[in-house]
Amino acid sequence: MLKHILVLHTGGTISMTENADGAVVPSVNNPLLGVATHFPDVAVTSEEAFNLPSPHITPAHMLQLSLRIREAEANGIDGVVVTHGTDTLEETAFFLDLTTDAKIPVVVTGAMRSSNEIGADGDYNFLSAIRVAASDQAGGMGCLVVMNDEIHSARFVTKTHTTNVATFRTPTFGPIGLVGKNGVMFFQQLLRTATSPIDEIKAPVFLLKAYAGMDGTLFDALPADTAGLVIEALGAGNLPPATLPALQRLLDRNVPVVLVSRCFNGIAQDIYDYEGGGVGLKQMGVIFCRGLNGQKARIKLIVGLSAGKTGAALAAYVNNAVS
């Protein structure tokens, strides 16, 4: 059966070119529009949503993509591919995971080398993403990230290397499938979470990283309209004691504060009962977010706030990576 796949291009290295000086620059004409998609059972429709380096992408752009995907599914499209810069790809992919209740496959891909560089990975990743989006098995699995022959869940995948083509990894859990010569293979499935199809963005939500000797200066510098804060805490979920008075001031202002670990692997938990330890932080009202990295927890807090969640409902939504 013929599958209709919608491709939404947003920019990034996958659609950039290297100039005569060796610098990588956005292209006037997206080279991906010229890539032949020779799959006999796939019809591709392409739209250039944006042509932006991914550091220019904001939650407002992510919302625009989410709304377009919801509209496309309602109009009978069979799968969606989003091409994106890799720097913030995991944030857009996770935003789409949280906000589209798609039964159809939604696949995000990018590249580490621009279109005219030796060993360019863009066309290959793009065609792999189309194969996954056209696969019968890929629907209803949440947003997927396809890069370098691997299929990752948007929830836990992260960019791990500045330049290597094998940059996208899923710490703790690993990829959920592979793209092979003979087809698409899935090996595991994540528990699905409830989605929040939001129509507006509540901001600003900030992200701070804890470090040895940190005090409350940065917490006190947050503006009066701060809607939320995510802290990448130390180890299992602890903070330096000198941050505590400023943290309390934020909580007294009813700013939701979410805690994750700055560690690459593992989950933040309230284990330590010393000054600044997780036990005391939880008692202060800090929300522990299990399993997400800082940038993903920030996206989740934005989506939760934008869906109108507050108090215990917001904490329950952000706290659990699987429900």
Catalytic residues: 13, 86
**Residues pairing with 234 in the sheet:** 238
Please tell me the distance from the alpha carbon of residue 275 to that of residue 266, in angstroms, as a whole number.
22
Please tell me the distance from the alpha carbon of residue 97 to that of residue 155, in angstroms, as a whole number.
7
In terms of phi and psi (left: phi > 0; alpha: psi -120 to 50; beta: otherwise), the region of 286 is: beta
Provide the binding-site residues for ligand ASN, judged by CB under 6 A. 12-13, 53-54, 85-87, 110, 112
- CB of 122 or CB of 237, closer to ligand ASN: 122
The nearest distance, CB 152 to ligand ASN, in angstroms, is: 16
- Element housing 247 (H / E): helix 244-252
The nearest distance, CB 90 to ligand ASN, in angstroms, is: 11
Provide the token pair at 24: 């990588």
- CB of 162 or CB of 265, closer to ligand ASN: 162
Closest CA to 301 of 201, 212, 221: 201
Please tell me the distance from the alpha carbon of residue 250 to that of residue 213, in angstroms, as a whole number.
20
- CB of 86 or CB of 243, closer to ligand ASN: 86
- CB of 23 or CB of 284, closer to ligand ASN: 23
The nearest distance, CB 86 to ligand ASN, in angstroms, is: 4
Residue in the shown chain whose Cβ atom is closest to ligand ASN:
85
Closest CA to 157 of 74, 57, 89: 89
The nearest distance, CB 237 to ligand ASN, in angstroms, is: 30
- Element housing 208 (H / E): strand 205-209
Which residue has 């291009």 as its token pair? 9
